[in-house]
Amino acid sequence: MALTSRTPQARSRQAGPLSLRSAMSLSAVMAGLVAVVVSYSGPLVVVLQSAKNAGLSPEQTTSWVWAISIASGVVCSVLSLVTRQPVMVAWSVPGAALLLTALGNYSYSDAIGAYLVAGILGTVLGVTGLFGRLLAVVPKPILAGVLAGVLLPFVLNAAGAVVSSPLVAGGLVLAYFAGKRFVPRYAVIVALFSGALLGIFTGGISAPQLSLALAGPLWTTPTFSVPAVMGIAVPLLIVTTAGQNGPGLAMMHSSGYLPNDRLLLGGAGVASVIFAPFGSHAINLAAITAGICAGPEAHEDSRRRFIAGIACGVFYLVFGTFSTAVVALFAVIPAPMLTALAGVALLGALQGAVRDVVLGAEGRPAELEAALITLAVTASGIAPWGIVSPFWGCLAGIGIYLLARRRNTV
């Protein structure tokens, strides 16, 4: 990609890759754990609701959760180890939201076939570098605006969580800022354990009924139909590419990394294809969890943050193996606690994105205006025709930018 890292200092920090042993740190491992907790706290609910709406059997639902977890874990671990960068992938959240209404309209085998088609097309876009080249021509402040718009609602929702649960969520937020003051590297860890303790002591977290039975995959032979391809594969490809992969790459650049977009998108695409027959709808680069693992909260030395990506992958594998127990566990954790945790964990990433919007467009009012429009539209959460707001935010920003350039040349 023809994108550059944020600072020369960031490039120099990546000059000398470290061994696993020398790079290991508790803060990076815990960042990986927090990223997985955030991934399961909300996005998994969308998957479970989609399965319920479509009338899937318990075995099919368990296989779906197993597939997206194991696929994410393998790709996170392998790509982070190979690239020595915190490569974060996850299942497509807007894709799962799309399936809330779409999945029940087709046979399950046709839906699996549509997942395969979307995965193959996504892989082609990635390995050919076509998506990277398209992204490279977008002004950097607009990309930063997309990222800021994706992150902003999570931080805003944390304020609402504090109001609805002042003791647990409010205590978690206070613990985070106390941690920032005294042990900044472990601030998110302090917040996580403080929130958990407050939840237990107040009775907000009760003992779940856990089953330690291993989750297993269920193979479904794909079939193909034009209606399913048009109704699932095409919109799934659009929302995953525009709403997830674009912000995911932007997050890595915002954190000072130079990712190989062909390798990352190709790896996520191949995983989507391999795990589709087991129920996985789409695997993509993650922006939200990347904000947790690619920033200074994981470690101040950017060369050591790849451990967070590996740790995240390992936790995905563990959670996926015991997905039945994990679903039961997250069902008893208070929603305000999870919302507040996501908000404080992403605060640093939001600060970086907003800084890139302002400084990246310094002296260029047209780019700044376009970036702010991008941020606003993306943060609005609109989804006309099932296409999520990051796509519309980027489209609006580019349109405003081109209009301003044309006005200036007239």
Q: Give 129 or 170, the one with higher predicted confidence.
A: 170
Q: What is the mean pLDDT of residues 89-112?
A: 85
- Assess contact for 70 and 300: CB atoms under 8 A: no
pLDDT value of position 408? 62
Q: What is the mean pLDDT of residues 26-48?
A: 82
pLDDT class for 404, splitting at 50, 70, 90? confident
Among 47, 44, 224, residue whose Cα is nearest residue 120: 224
pTM of structure: 0.73
When mean pLDDT is compared across 90-99, 118-127, 159-168, 194-203, the lowest value belongs to 90-99
pLDDT class for 386, splitting at 50, 70, 90? low
In sign, the C-alpha dihedral spanning 170, 172, 175, 179 is negative
When mean pLDDT is compared across 13-27, 30-44, 229-243, 304-318, the lowest value belongs to 13-27
d(CA 389, CA 242): 9
Please give the DSSP secondary-structure letter assigned to residue 230: I
- Average pLDDT of every residue of the chain: 84
Question: Does the pLDDT value for residue 62 go beyond 80?
Answer: yes
The proportion of the chain whose per-residue pLDDT surpasses 90, expressed as a percent, equals 34
Q: Which of 109-123, 174-188, 322-336, 375-389 has the highest mean pLDDT?
A: 109-123
Q: What is the mean pLDDT of residues 239-243?
A: 76
Among 112, 27, 99, 32, residue whose Cα is nearest residue 286: 32
pLDDT class for 15, splitting at 50, 70, 90? low
Question: Does the pLDDT value for residue 332 go beyond 90?
Answer: no
Q: Give 44 or 92, the one with higher predicted confidence.
A: 92
**pLDDT tens for each residue of 108-154:** 999 999 999 999 999 999 999 888 888 778 888 888 888 788 888 88
SS3 347: helix
Decide: residue 317, CB within 10 A, 0-12 exposed, 13-18 middle, 19+ buried: middle
**16 residue type, one letter:** G
pLDDT value of position 86? 93
pLDDT value of position 211? 63
Give the residue extent of every domain in the chain.
23-356
d(CA 131, CA 266): 11
- Assess contact for 406 and 181: CB atoms under 8 A: no
Question: Does the pLDDT value for residue 7 go beyond 60?
Answer: no
Q: Give 326 or 146, the one with higher predicted confidence.
A: 146
Question: Does the pLDDT value for residue 6 go beyond 50?
Answer: no
pLDDT class for 4, splitting at 50, 70, 90? very low
Q: What is the mean pLDDT of residues 143-170?
A: 89
Query: Residue 284 pairs with which residues in a beta bridge?
Result: 90
pLDDT value of position 80? 95
- Enumerate residues 6+ apart whose C-beta is below 8 A from 65: 44, 47, 48, 215, 320, 323, 327
pLDDT value of position 5? 41
Question: Does the pLDDT value for residue 334 go beyond 90?
Answer: no
**pLDDT tens for each residue of 312-322:** 999 999 988 88
The proportion of the chain whose per-residue pLDDT surpasses 70, expressed as a percent, equals 90
- Assess contact for 44 and 56: CB atoms under 8 A: no
Q: What is the mean pLDDT of residues 2-17?
A: 45
